[in-house]
Amino acid sequence: MTDFAQAFARRTRLRGGDELTAILAGSPPGVLSMTGGFPNPATFPTDELDEIAARLVREDAAVALQYTPCAGIASVREYLAERQEQLQGRRPESGELIVTSGGMECIALTCQALIDPGDTIAVEAPTYLGALMAFAGAEADVVAIATDEDGLRVDALAERLAAGPPPKFLYTIPEYQNPTGRTLPLDRRRALVELCRRHGVLIFEDVAYRELSFDGSSLPSLWSLAPDVVLQAGTFSKSFFPGVRLGWAAGPAQVIAELAAAKQTTDQCAGGLGQRLLEEYGRAGGFERHLPAARALYASHWAALSAALTRHMPEGADWTEPAGGFLTWVTLPEELDARAMRPAAGAAGVAYVPGAPFHVGDGGRNTLRLSFSHLTETELETAVERLAGVVRGALEQAPAGPLAR
């Protein structure tokens, strides 16, 4: 058999491990999986989709089944612009928004448009694994900025900007962050946009979970505060359904034009059928009808998970308190290694994502990410009971904690 390894591009060795592939593949039967940030299928509006899809194929095939303009179907872009105005208080101008094939494509287009090998970009630590892999694959020099319980530490970014040449951009997820579930408060949002404006640094804002606050509230997006320095990546994967593979990029026209040009070399256009489905669903009030129930579902799942963690996890374990989204971030006693615990977790019938891959370089060994979106409340209770048993087992085997060492 011919070995093609020497033909592979350098970026294939830079991307990182197979964590995302494993998450998307799902868990074996019998394992209660808290891995993927997958929306709960109960939130999929199947009846409405059934009706709209049939109608589009019948009456709008020439548009919905055809290639579309690179930037998206004009009426869909118009709808998305109206939606930005309704939800974020600002309407993008015509060159300031394009339709993308999901949030991940927006990240990939941004890499293509902005990163030359060796360019420095900044991320919060920890951050979304898919973005980290894309940035590494683009051969960026990724610098991690410290976070605390309120998300990105703007003072740490200010120090970094004062110390050296600015990064090409800062990638940040301001609400219900992946992986920590944390949200950046308003005062930090204002300070962040002011700082980046002063230094001429583009902010790359990922709003993947923004519409899924538990109580329906939201803070101003960074893009709405500073459309001159913010590129926003949005996705309909969490609020509509991921099978549609749709999202958007909104930002300065100059940047958006480069993303649109880059899209000519990826898929050329997002799927027309999905675009028209989204537009018809949205214009008919689908989001207003369905999102409140989705928010309530995720809020009650979080309540169940939070109660189970409190009930079962051993002393020394701690976790974040998200106000929306799908994720919480667990910190275990320092002597534990969440990656090394994984086989025992699999044997006990529970799965999570270890925290280390969400970091640049080392860090996060004793952390893990839990998703509460798709297991039932009863399953979450059982899953945490199993996880707590695995943690206790690892504690018994681990060398004693720092005080005893």
Q: Which residues bind ligand PLP (CB under 6 A)?
A: 37, 102-104, 128, 130, 173, 178, 206, 208, 235, 237, 242, 247
Check: CB of residue 174 under 8 Å from CB of residue 221.
Answer: yes
Q: Least separation, in Å, of the C-beta of 48 and ligand PLP?
A: 20
Question: Nearer Cβ to ligand PLP, position 368 or 391?
Answer: 368
DSSP letter at 167?
Answer: P
Choose between 152 and 341: whose C-beta lies nearer to ligand PLP: 152
Smallest separation, CB 237 to ligand PLP (Å): 4
CB of 405 to ligand PLP, least distance (A): 36
Contact 219, 186 (CB under 8 A): yes
Smallest gap from Cβ 394 to ligand PLP, in A, equals 27
Q: How many CA atoms lie within 13 A of 307 on its CB side?
A: 12
Query: Looking at beta carbons only, is 178 or 367 nearer to ligand PLP?
Result: 178
Q: Residue 247 Cβ, how far from ligand PLP at the closest point, in Å?
A: 5
* Smallest gap from residue 207 Cβ to ligand PLP (A): 8
Tokens of 402: 């720092």
DSSP per-residue string spanning 94-133: GGGEEEESSHHHHHHHHHHHH--TT-EEEEESS--HHHHH
For residues 320 and 1, the answer to whether their CB atoms sit within 8 Å is: no
First to last CA, the chain: 51
Nearer to ligand PLP, 161 or 184 (CB): 184
Residue for token pair 């055809």:
66
Question: For ligand PLP, which is the closer residue by CB, 224 or 371?
Answer: 371
Helices (H) and strands (E) counted in the chain, each on its own, are 15, 15
Report which of 160, 164, 161, 229 is spatially closest to residue 190, judged by C-alpha positions: 229
Q: How far apart are CA 244 and CA 100, in angstroms?
A: 11
Query: Smallest Cα–Cα separation from 166: which of 188, 189, 135, 198?
Result: 198
* Closer residue to ligand PLP, CB minimum distance, 133 or 356: 133
Question: Residue 123 or 208: which CB sits closer to ligand PLP?
Answer: 208
Burial of 155 (0-12, 13-18, 19+ CB in 10 A): middle
What 3-state class would DSSP assign to 185?
A: coil
The partner residues of 327 in beta bridges, in order of sequence, read 371
Q: Output 326 or 391, the one with its CB closest to ligand PLP.
A: 326
Nearer to ligand PLP among residue 235 and residue 275 (C-beta): 235
**Beta pairing partners, 33:** 351
Cβ of residue 233: shortest distance to ligand PLP, in angstroms? 7
Q: How far is the CB of 384 from ligand PLP (least distance, A)?
A: 22
Name the DSSP letter for residue 144: E
- Residue-by-residue DSSP string for 327-343: EEEEE--TT--TTTTHH
196: part of which helix (H) or strand (E)?
helix 186-199
Q: Contact at 8 Å (CB) between 175 and 324?
A: yes
Q: Which is nearer to ligand PLP, 242 or 333 (CB)?
A: 242
Residue type, 318: D
Neighbours of 67 (CB within 10 A): 9
Residue 92 or 130: the one with the smaller Cβ distance to ligand PLP is 130
